Structure 1
Amino acid sequence: MTEEEAVQIAEYVQAACPAQKFGEYTPDVWGEILAPYDVDEARAAVIAVARRQPFVSPAEIVTEIRERRAERIEQANIVIDGDPTHTGAESAAALREIIRAAGDGLLGPASIRASLGTAERPALPPGADHGPYAGRAAAVRAAIGKMPADRDPTVDPRGRACRRCGAAPGSSCTTGDRRRRDVHPIRLEDTQRAAAGLPLLDQDAAEARIKAAAAAALARSDDQEQEAETS
């Protein structure tokens, strides 16, 4: 926000809250506090706060902006599985840019179940290539372009659809509406069998096999604990 825009926000607050007192240097102080934020976001925050109470402080404007940005980021349901060819710094930079774009409203609400395949990645809204967000729009397109579009289904479990939750190739598995850090066991089983050139198992049979293996591993762990206690 520029100094001129900070003056506009102060005048905007004064018009919305006529009983609020402003001094000669009020716009200067507000300008320093609100400098990191966009003038349009600040104006929308003033309206929201003024609807609730008769006075508006810079801290309340900042709080309102942050809450709305956090809300937009949450609704965007950003899912990035990463690209093994990128360095940690490149992956972090891409993620920061996409999160920032979601906070700016350049990425609208999306279902966590939406595929992140090339043809189905979220489109930026009309007009995003113009105005103050033109550079940000280009940057977020570049960051989205770095997301892996294709994965080898015989190596990477996320390269194939999940038969348990219906996650599309390239997307993470979900439990309910929450993204899982790992994939469902059936998805991993399918990947391992594909790598070995074996046909996929019936889903019920595969899950029964996985549960049996897990139970056997738990039993071995219990036996080891009992041996440790008696030794």
Structure 2
Amino acid sequence: MTEEEAVQIAEYVAAACPAQKFGEYTPDVWGEILKPYAVDEARAAVIAVARRQPWVSPAEIVTEIRDRRAERIALAHVVYDGNPLETGAESAASVRALITAAADGRTPPQSIRTALGTADRPALPAGTQPTGRAAAALAGVGKAVPRIREGVVNPRAVPCRSCPALPGTSCTTRGRRRQDVHPSRLEDARRAAAGLPPIDPADEQREIERRRAASAAALATQPAPTFEDAT
């Protein structure tokens, strides 16, 4: 908040609370106290406090701003699973940026089920990038949705066929987050890094059935074990 904006807030409070007294240096002091906050946030806080009581102090404005920011963070259910290509410092910066975006209101409210992904929400086709809240949350803080880089295998850059994990999120098993990723997701990431199309689930199932049939046929041709074989 600038000095001019601090004067505007002081005048705003004077208009909302006509019985409240202001001195010559009141705007200067208020400007120092409210400097870390945006003028729009302060103006909204003044209205909220003035609706409850006839006096408005800068401390009450700060408390109101912090409460609203904390509320927006809680409603956004910020989730960031990290990127294997990031350093620890970069990952921490990404988390801080996401939290700041939520506090500023640039990340819309969402349920924890939406943030984490659920069994009743199917994964996107391989190679599809998330849209809506997921994309807005990352784009709003200058972080692009994880994408596949040529020659780099990043399993979290693709959705998982074995669980509802979307790009940028971890795989889950029975609702619990996994430390690793499902083998099918790793294979899809390897194929994507090599410029190959994702595996068709139907083709994969046919290949599994073919291998099972071949194994069964091989076992059927083996002679039955005898007593001498056992000894």
The answer, yes or no, to whether TM exceeds 0.5 is yes
Matched, 1:118 2:129: yes
TM-score, reference length from structure 2 = 0.61
Q: How does 1:1-231 map to 2 (within 5 A)?
A: 1-112=1-112, 113-114=114-115, 118-120=129-131, 122=133, 124=136, 140=141, 142-143=142-143, 145=144, 147-149=145-147, 160=160, 163=163, 166-168=164-166, 170-172=168-170, 182-183=177-178, 191=183
Task: Report the residue type matching 1:94 in the other structure.
Answer: S
Other-structure match for 1:208: none
- Contact in 2 for aligned 1:72/1:109 (Cα 8 Å): yes
Give the Cα–Cα distance (whole angstroms) in 1 for the partners of residues 110 and 147 of structure 2: 18
Q: Where do 5+ consecutive residues of structure 1 fail to align? A: 126-136, 200-231
- Contact in 2 for aligned 1:160/1:170 (Cα 8 Å): no
CA deviations 1:104-147 (Å, max 9, x no partner) are 1111112332559723252549xxxxxxxxxxx9771x32x1x5
CA deviations 1:47-103 (Å, max 9, x no partner) are 001111111110110011011111111111211110111111111112211211111
Change (3 A) 1:138 1:32: farther
Change (3 A) 1:17 1:86: same
- Backbone CA RMSD of aligned residues: 3.9
Give the Cα–Cα distance (whole angstroms) in 1 for the partners of residues 172 and 68 of structure 2: 26
- Contact in 2 for aligned 1:77/1:109 (Cα 8 Å): yes
Task: Report the residue type matching 2:5 in the other structure.
Answer: E
Change (3 A) 1:160 1:49: same
Give the Cα–Cα distance (whole angstroms) in 2 for the partners of residues 82 and 173 of structure 1: 12
Give the Cα–Cα distance (whole angstroms) in 2 for the partners of residues 174 and 21 of structure 1: 59
Residue 169 of structure 1: how far off its partner (Å)? 5.6
SS at match of 2:54: coil
SS at match of 1:53: coil
- Percent identity for Structure 1 against Structure 2: 61
- Contact in 1 for aligned 2:13/2:46 (Cα 8 Å): yes
Change (3 A) 1:138 1:85: closer
- Contact in 1 for aligned 2:49/2:56 (Cα 8 Å): yes
Give the Cα–Cα distance (whole angstroms) in 2 for the partners of residues 169 and 118 of structure 1: 7
Change (3 A) 1:139 1:89: farther
Change (3 A) 1:159 1:15: same
Give the Cα–Cα distance (whole angstroms) in 2 for the partners of residues 13 and 91 of structure 1: 41
- Contact in 1 for aligned 2:159/2:165 (Cα 8 Å): no
Give the Cα–Cα distance (whole angstroms) in 2 for the partners of residues 48 and 174 of structure 1: 42
Deviating beyond 4 angstroms after TM superposition, the runs of 4 or more aligned structure 1 residues are 114-117, 166-170, 172-175
CA deviations 1:140-162 (Å, max 9, x no partner) are 1x32x1x5356x99x77x95256
Change (3 A) 1:162 1:69: farther
Task: Report the residue type matching 1:20 in the other structure.
Answer: Q
SS at match of 2:130: helix
Q: Where do 5+ consecutive residues of structure 2 fail to align? A: 118-123, 188-203, 206-231
TM-score, reference length from structure 1 = 0.61
